Structure formats: C-alpha cells, structure tokens
Amino acid sequence: MAITVLIPTTLRSFTNHRSELELEGSTAGEVIRSLADEYPETKKALFDENGGLRPFINVFVNGENIKVLQGNDTPVKTGDEIMLIPAIAGGAPIESILGDTKGEKLTNEEILRYSRHLLLQEVGIKGQKKLKAAKVLIVGIGGLGAPLAQYLAAAGVGKLGLIDFDEVDETNLQRQVIHGTRDIGRPKVASAKDSIKQINPLVKVETYNYMLTAENALDIISEYDVVADASDNYQCRYLVNDACVMLGKPDVFGAMYQFEGQASVYYAKEGPCYRCMYPSPPPAGLVPSCATGGVMGALPGIIGTIQANEVIKLIVGGGETLVGRLLNFDAWKMRFRELKIHKDPNCPICGEHPTITKLEEYDYADFCGIKKQEEEEAPVEAIEAKELKRRLDEGEKITIIDVREPHERAITKFLDAKVIPIGQLERRQNELDPTVDTVFVCKEGKRSILAVNTLREAGYKGRMFNLKDGINAWAREVDPTMPQY
C-alpha cells in the first residue's frame, strides 16, 4: 500500500531534493525503514548507532504524533500521510497571563494610536491596558526577532527586552528588516532599539548586548511576563525552555530553515514544553544553519508575526493559542499544517519527576553535543587560502572537491574543482585518489569539515584538508573579483 511521506527541507538533500514520496508499508516504522532503504543517505540522519529513531525526529500520521498512538507499530493504510518533523528549529482559550491586572489608564495619545485595537471587542480598552502593562523578552534580534519587535512595539507592549550579542552584518539585511544599511557593524540590540523608538516612542526598551547563559537566564527572564524565542541554536532554545518552565512563563517559539517555518507556544502550566516535543537535539553539525543552507527572505516575517500574534493573545487573554499545537509552514508550497503535541509525563523538566532542577548545574553545551563533537572528532587539518594558492601556483597536484549544491555553485564557481555534494561523498569516495592531497571547499569552511569527517568515518585513508573559512576567504584574500555571499 502506498503511503505519502512528506520530507522536511533539512532532509531533502538525502532524497534528491524530493519533498513528497510514495512508499510502501503497513506501519509507520515500516514506512520509515522503506525510506531509509530507498535513500540510504537518510539513515545517519534518521537513526542512531543502535538503529533507533533519533529523538529529534518526530513522526506524525495524519497530524497525530505516533508517540501517542502505537509508536512505530502505528498502522497506516493507502491515503494516509506521514510527516517527519525534525527540530529546526487545537489549543483552548487561555486567560491573560497578567491575570486581573487592570493596567494604567490610556492617554488620549494612546487611544488614538491604538484605536484599531480598541475597536476589536476581543481587545478593547481592557486588553490594550494589559498590553501597556506587559513586559516581553525577545531572545535573538535576527530574522524572527525583527518582526517580533516591530509588531509588539506597534501593538503597544509596555516594555520590550532585547537580548543578542551579535552585530549587524550585510548578509542580515535580506530578511532582518529592523536593521538598515547604516547599521552594519552596530550591535543588533542598539539598531533594533532605535527602530523601535521610531515605530513607537511610548515603548520602554531594555537591551542586553551579551549571550543568554545558564548563569543569567533566570535573573533576566524573571523580569518579564512572556518570552519570545527567536534564537537560532539548540543550546539557547533548550535554555530558554527550561528557564521558562522553572519560572512558569510561556515560551513563544519560532524556527525556520530555507522555506520551512515552525511556531508554537510551549507553556508547561497549560501544556507541553519544548523538551516534550524534542527530548534531545540533533547531533552537532547535522542540521545546517540559515547561514549555510539559506532562507527565503520573507519567511521570518511570516513566522515572526505569528509569534507576535501569539504573544498578544497571551497578554490580552481569551484567544486560542498554539499551546499543544505545532504550526508547520512551507513557504514554497504555501501550505500550513497543524500538528498536535502532547505533554510528556517523563519530561526531565516539566514531567512528573523532573531531573533538571538547577540551570547552572546543567551543561547545555554537552547536552547539545558541542563538547562531545569537539572531544570525539580528530582535528581537521586546515589550509589557508593563500597557502593553497601558493601550492597550486607551484604546480603541485591537488584534488579540490566542491561539496556545495548545484544552485549554490551558480553563485560562484571555484577553480577546476570536482563537484561532489556532501550527501554523495560516502558512496563516491572511490572517485578520489588517496595518494593525492584533497582539499574540500564550501562557502565558509563548515560543511567541508563535515565532509572530511564523513569520509574518515567511511574509512577513506587519503590526506584531506579543509579550506579555512571557505570560498569567502579565497575571495577576500586571493581573488577579490569573486563575490562573497
């Protein structure tokens, strides 16, 4: 029987970029095994060393997580739809998180400014006063944080906290619309604060130009009513989730990659938390970042405004929130899907017997595999762009392998490199000569490190190098006529 399997963007490089497959099987587990058999490169992403499905992959049959059905034995039939939801990353009406807070009286200026809210019965004067009294922390002022900050400021949220330790880069401007060309090189929190004051000078803005850590998270988050997680790494996402659970705060979550976005509200008082959905993150390096894989510029605007909408409903009260629901959006196909998520009684932070009780004693870097990756992987030998140029100019025989995808190579080609996309390296290693030094290249030297480690694990014995900082370094240091991207 043919079952439709929907492949997420993060796994499509292993399925020849196909987004939908028709596969055979009578149970969810059989269908997933069929996927791995038909596309062997997916095995490493889907299954751990013991053959079990990795915890960061959630499998839904017709919108229901198999965890609350029959697991891998969940029966499927022709016409059913299986969706894989990796970490990328109906609710009931909830009363305002501010409780009975009445808030300060609105001034005439505020009544005029927020008049379109006041005309809504569901918001009105009462709701707008709650917005004025509310304090919201936005973690990350990038693609998602930009529309979040803009719309929450426009809506009249009384105080916005902005935390981000990064500076504005030219590549941010394609999607991070709160920043402008003149802001390049400035701290993102400073740039965003200026923009917010232009949108609504009535909003108070507190900035934190440093990283959120296990040591400072509780102190910072305790000052706010809601946290909007617009971060871009797993370490921060689990930290925000855990701090929110401990403090009883809602975590309004958003994530994106290429054309796919996710949004939910993780609120342990009312439903599941982030760990209930994703007990553990993917292995470090397995899921690429937007800097590596790209992102549609309008996508964070869509997901970020959905997050802003959820924040407003939590403050005003009465609306149906995304607590207990995951909204999945495919911008390329313009398709929304809603998936039910459930509280896990065995969750280590919000379950019946929590084991995580002190943030400062929990090692988030170790949990997210960052330390393990550093300890287990042998250092990858790097070669500087100028050194590679020297060796090539001297006529030394060197094999250069470009591991980028075809559409990315269209931006700029690299010398006479042999093209082997990273997902094909293991099965095409016989095309390499182990007696000749091989240099792997990509945009910025991250995927090329992964390429070297992939071939090491596959048993390749030749000497391998990573072009340090990638093709962008070559463009900066050797050939300024090449574009950087």
Known catalytic residues are 290, 442
Q: Which helix (H) or strand (E) holds 60?
A: strand 57-61
Query: Contact at 8 Å (CB) between 262 and 172?
Result: no
Compute CA distances 58 → 101, 280, 281, 351, 396, whole Å.
Answer: 39, 11, 12, 19, 49
For CA atoms 345, 346, 351, 353, give the dihedral sign: positive
d(CA 477, CA 460): 31
3-state secondary structure of 255: strand
> To the nearest 5 percent, what fractions of the chain are helix, strand and coil?
35, 20, 45
Q: What is the number of other CB atoms lying within 10 angstroms of the CB of residue 119?
A: 9
Q: What is the number of other CB atoms lying within 10 angstroms of the CB of residue 70?
A: 13
DSSP assigned state of 72: G
Compute CA distances 44 → 33, 54, 131, 216, 467, whole Å.
Answer: 12, 9, 47, 36, 25
d(CA 62, CA 6): 11
Query: Contact at 8 Å (CB) between 4 and 82?
Result: yes
Which residues touch 425 (CB under 8 Å, ≥6 apart)?
403, 451, 454, 455, 458
DSSP string, 10-52: GGGGGTTT-SEEEEE-SBHHHHHHHHHHHSGGGHHHHB-TTSP
